[in-house]
Every structure is written in C-alpha cells, then in structure tokens.
Structure 1
Amino acid sequence: MPGARHSILRTLPTSASRLAKHAWPPVLFFVVVVSAWEWAARAGFLDPMVLPAPGEIAANVVDGLSSGLYIINLQVTLMQAISGFLIACALGVAMGSLTTLSERLSRALQPIVLALEATPKIALAPLIIVWFGYGMGSKVALSAVIGFFPVFISTVSGLRSVDPGRMDVLRALGARRWQIFKMVALPGALPHIFAGINIAVVLALLGTIVGEFMGAKEGLGTLILYANGNLDTARVFSILLVLAATGLTLHALVDFTRARLLFWDDADTAIPTGPGT
C-alpha cells in the first residue's frame, strides 16, 4: 500500500502539468476574446441591444442566481429534460435491441424509423403541444422524441458491430439467445450506446427549451422569451450562459458514468456530431 500511495503521488504532478499544458491555449483564447469584446462594448463600437458587454452579462448571471430566479426555473427545465432523457434512453436501448434480435421486426420498422429520422424533430413541437397540452408532459415528450434517435441508432450500430466469433462460442456451448445478448452483445455495444447517450442528453435539454418556447409558465425557455420581449439582450445572453453550463455539466455526468461502467474502454468521449433535429 505505501508503494502504491507513493506511485500515485508521483503521478499527480505529471497529470497536473499535462492538464495545464492542454488547458492554457483555450483559456488564453477565451480571455483574449472576452477582453476584446468588453473593450469594444465599453468603447461604444458594439450596440448593447445586439451584443452587450460581458460584464453586463455576468452581472445578470449573478443577479439571477442570487435572487433564486434562475435556480427555480432551472429546476423546472432540468426535471423535464432529465425525465425525457431517461425515457429516450430506455426506449432507444429497448427498441434498438429488439430490432437487432429480430430480423423480421427490423425489416418492418426500418422504413418508419428512416422516415421519422429524416423529419426535423423540432417541427413536431406544435403537434406534441396539441397532444399533451402546455404542461410538463409536452416538454418531456418532446425531449424524449429528440433524444430517442441517437440512442436507438447507436444501440443498433453497437449490437451489430459485436464480434460474431464470441457469440458463436457461446452458441456452441448451448447458450440461449438471451444469454448471448446479456453476456456478450450488450456489454460489447455499451461504448456505442454511450456515444448516443452523450448526444441525447444535450438534445433532451434542447427539446425542453423548444417546448417551453411553444408554451409554458416556468423554465429557462420562458425566461428567454420574457427577456427577449423586453429587449433585455444581456439577460438573454446570461440565461444562455446558464444553459451552456448546464449542458456541459450533464455531459460531464454522462462521461463520469461511462468511465465508471466502462473502465476497460479508453475511447475518446468527446461530444460527437449528432443527427439533425
């Protein structure tokens, strides 16, 4: 144990230096851009109605958080987004697994899935509002619809990319289809599935905001509409900043979960480009 402790302590400076080496270029770029933006806004080169100063945006963030306004509405948005995200993950993995296990079901569903995938999901928002009303249900449904397809497609792709030789070994040993799926196919597909989940968690948040734009009494999307109606551009930017931080946090949580479950897979977990919404 002492040897292992000393080994970990020796690696800490190396890890810190590696992190600093990769972090300073984007940090420096961010500082330069924000400083130039602030100077241009203060010097009068930028119209505050179009592009307010970063200091004014930061002041709105502090005011919204300290007053509790952003926290209360963020809780509403997060509850709806996470509910839709969990539904999307459950349905995406289940449907992807079923269509992979059953060739007949796959052929039957393929035209429908392709047609729905080609449809911009946000265009379904008015219909979903009509079906589910202006309450929480419509926001959850829209976020689930938008988040479903990345999980579904990644599940199908992952299950079809599993090494067939490993499954043949289990078949030769007399394993049933469900046992092969549980022991080989699903674990082998998990890296692909998490890639789709990484996309879905951000799209679910997007779907919730769009649903709130269509009609809601609470949520960050509603605050954006109110601020935009009052021509308060700085507040709109501040809410967008909170949403960006929320999206990054959700992505980090998915990455953390992935690292815990798939410790044996060291593939890059950056957010991939998802299908159009």
Structure 2
Amino acid sequence: MFKNEKTLQALLVVVVFILVVGFWETSVWLWQVPNYLLPPPSRIFSQLVRLLQSTLFWDNLGVTMVEVLLGYICGLVLAAILGIAISQVRVFQLALLPYIIAFQTIPTVALAPIFLQWFGYGITSKIVMAALISFFPMLINVIAGLQSAGREEIQMLKAFGANEIQILLKVKLPASLPFVFAGLGLGIIFALIGAIVAEFVGAQKGLGKMLMQFNEQFNIAGQFAILVILALIGVIMHLIVGFAKHRIIFWDGQR
C-alpha cells in the first residue's frame, strides 16, 4: 500500500499530531481548564502567529541562533582537536580522558551562573555554555569513531610504509565519519539547550529571555508558542546534519 517506510512514517506523524491536538483542544474546552494553566492549541497557534509578526521576536531569535551556531562551531573545533589528540597520542588519552569523564558527570547547566559571572550578561556567556554542553557528545563520538578503524587496514598501510598522518587520513577519518555525524546531530541539539538555559539564568535578549518574560506575565500560551518554535529549530538543524551526513558519507546510506 505504501511505497516506502518514510511515507508511512510521515502519515503516522500527521495522524498522531491530529489526534493529540484534537484531544487536547476538546479536553480543555470540556473541562473548562483556565488558559493560565493549560491553553488550548488554538490559542497557542494564535500566539504563535502573533510572535511571527513581531519584529521583537525575530530580533530575539537572531540573538539565540548566533549563540547556538557560534557555540556549536567552537565546541566542534575543540572536540575535533582534542579527540584526534587523545586517539592518536597515548599519553594524552591516559592523562586527559579520566578528567573528561569526571567533568562530564557534573551537570553542565549548573555552570551557567558561573559563566554569567565570568563573561557577563551578553552573548559571550551563552556561546561558552552552548559550546561546553555540545562539546562532550561530539568529543566522545570523535574518539569512538577514530578508534573504530579496522586493525587489518591499519596494519596493511603500515606494511606499505604509511606514517601515522597517512593512516589517520586514509583509514581512521573515513571510518570515524558515521560516529562523528552522530555526535554532530546530538551536539547541535545540546548547543540549543545550552544557549536557552544560559538565557534563563541571565540575558539581555534571546528566546530564553522571552520565555522568562512570558512566565512572569502568566502568558502560558506564549511560552508554548516559543517551545514549539524551539522544537522546530531543533528538528530543522538535526535534519540539516542528517542531510550533510548522507551527502558526505555516500557509502554509508543504510545507516
């Protein structure tokens, strides 16, 4: 009946969305739930349209996206450099990996107030937060990917006189790409979370700042509208990473 699984998935997603939204709208109306507790989807949609027509919203969205993208890029560069160093140099692995694992057990969001004190209420503290919280999943996947290279291929290249850089470029990096893109997909979501959490703690602009303002105004519909936008942003960025993966790792189409 369905040509492929993606068509079935798309249909199921639409059906679930209609059922959930319909049940939500009907339940709020039947039980007369106050809007300040749980607004109906129709009211959230109305607030969403109002936001999209507001220049203030687009200004705050731009600030948040700058924080997310710059933090993501910084976290990616640091993860790539440190991941290659740890996987290539045994001394770095022995010396740094225990600290990285220990630091990862700290709730990263708890560092947001410290970054606020160090870097101020501007975008710098949010970029640092986004970079840090996205750094760990990307680092772990870089290390795992580089270490997943087949020993037979490495031994064969060594037998032909290849040096460590050639082995890295010819075997380890291609083998690591599926892991790296898995980390990239997680990292972009964590970067968004990190920026929003940092804006909660203290910010001059941003969607997190708007969320806090709506909370103080008891505008629950506005909060839901921003949450919908954040979810859409996360999905779009994840899809972009997935598209890049399929374009770059053309030999890995089944993953």
- TM-score, normalised via structure 2 length: 0.96
Match of 1:257 among 231, 234, 244: 244
Instruction: Tell me the percent identity.
Output: 35
State the partner residue of 1:71.
58
Q: CA deviation at 1:14?
A: 7.3
Comparing 128-137 with 225-234, which one deviates more in the overlay? 128-137
The 1-side partners of 2:87 and 2:20 are apart by: 48
State the partner residue of 1:218.
205
Relative distance call for 1:166 and 1:196 in structure 2 (3 A) is same
State the partner residue of 1:183.
170
Counterpart residue type for residue 138 of structure 1: S
State the partner residue of 2:23.
36
The 2-side partners of 1:90 and 1:267 are apart by: 28
Counterpart residue type for residue 108 of structure 1: A
State the partner residue of 2:144.
157
Contact 2:84 2:142 in 1 (8 A): yes
State the partner residue of 1:202.
189
- Name stretches of at least 5 consecutive residues in structure 1 with no aligned partner: 1-12, 269-277
Counterpart residue type for residue 245 of structure 2: R
The 1-side partners of 2:2 and 2:207 are apart by: 41
The 1-side partners of 2:231 and 2:177 are apart by: 27
Relative distance call for 1:21 and 1:71 in structure 2 (3 A) is same
Q: CA deviation at 1:161?
A: 1.1
Counterpart residue type for residue 122 of structure 1: V
State the partner residue of 1:3.
none
- TM-score, normalised via structure 1 length: 0.88
Question: 1:23-67 CA deviation, whole Å, 9 max, x = no partner?
Answer: 222211210110111112223442321210000000011010012
The 2-side partners of 1:14 and 1:230 are apart by: 47
Q: CA deviation at 1:22?
A: 2.4
Secondary structure at 1:185 match in 2: helix
Alignment map for 1:1-277 (pairs within 5 Å): 18-268=5-255
Counterpart residue type for residue 104 of structure 2: E
Contact 2:2 2:8 in 1 (8 A): no
- Name stretches of at least 5 consecutive residues in structure 2 with no aligned partner: none
Comparing 163-172 with 200-209, which one deviates more in the overlay? 163-172
Contact 2:104 2:136 in 1 (8 A): yes
RMSD in angstroms over aligned alpha carbons? 1.5
Secondary structure at 1:217 match in 2: coil
Comparing 202-211 with 23-32, which one deviates more in the overlay? 23-32
